[in-house]
Amino acid sequence: MKMHRMLVCVLALGAPGLISFGQEVISNPSKRQATLDLAAQLLAARENPTEKLPAELVDPFSPPGLGAIPAPSVVRSGDTVRASSSDLDILEKIAPHITPSGSLMLNGQPVLLFREKKLKVGDSLTITFEGTTYVVVITAVDRSSFKIRLNREEITRPIKPRKVP
C-alpha cells in the first residue's frame, strides 16, 4: 500500500517535468524544414574537381615504377655496370653463407640459433655479400631446415649443411 502511494506521488510530481521535457525535444515545423533544407544542400550532387586536372599529371599515390626494384650496380674502373642478378640468384649465392648452429623451441616458438644470437620467424638478418648489404627475413624454422626470403623470393636451407667430400 505504501509502495503504491509513493509511486503515485512520484508520477504526480514528475509528470509536469516529463511533459515540458518532451516539448523541448520535438521541434516546430519551421526548425525541421530548415534542417531538411541544410541536409538536402549538403547531399546534393556536385561536380568532381579532379575531372578538370590535366591527363599527364602523375598520381602521387601510384607513380610509375613504384614496385620496380633497381638491379644492383657494380662499379669497375670508374664505369657503372648493371648486374643482371635476380633476387633468387642473389639469395642462392647468399644462402650458403648463412649457417645456423642449430634450432630449438622457446616458449612454443621455433628459434634459429647463430652462436649466441637467437632469431625467430619474422626476424631479419643483415648480410653483406660482395660489398652489398642485403636484408634477409627468416620465414620458417623446422627441426632440420629453415626458410629465408629476400624481397619476394624464398629458399629453404638445411640447418646443418652436409659435408661434401
Segment 139-159, tens digit of pLDDT: 988 888 889 998 888 998 888
pLDDT of residue 39: 93
Q: Are strands 102-106 and 109-114 parallel, antiparallel or unpaired?
A: antiparallel
Averaged pLDDT of the chain: 77
pLDDT of residue 99: 84
Segment 98-129, tens digit of pLDDT: 888 888 888 888 888 888 888 888 888 888 88
Query: Which one has a higher pLDDT value, 36 or 23?
Result: 36
Q: Which helix (H) or strand (E) holds 105?
A: strand 102-106
pTM score: 0.45
Sequence-separated (6 or more) residues with CB below 8 Å from residue 49: none
Residue type, 148: I
Residue 79 pLDDT class (50, 70, 90 cuts): very low
pLDDT of residue 60: 81
Sequence-separated (6 or more) residues with CB below 8 Å from residue 58: 64
Query: Has residue 46 got a pLDDT over 50?
Result: yes
Place of cell 518532451: 22
Domain ranges for the chain, please list them: 83-158
pLDDT of residue 83: 47
Whether 112 contacts 146, CB under 8 Å: yes
DSSP characters for 14-42?
HHHHHHHHHHHHSPPHHHHHHHHHHHHHH
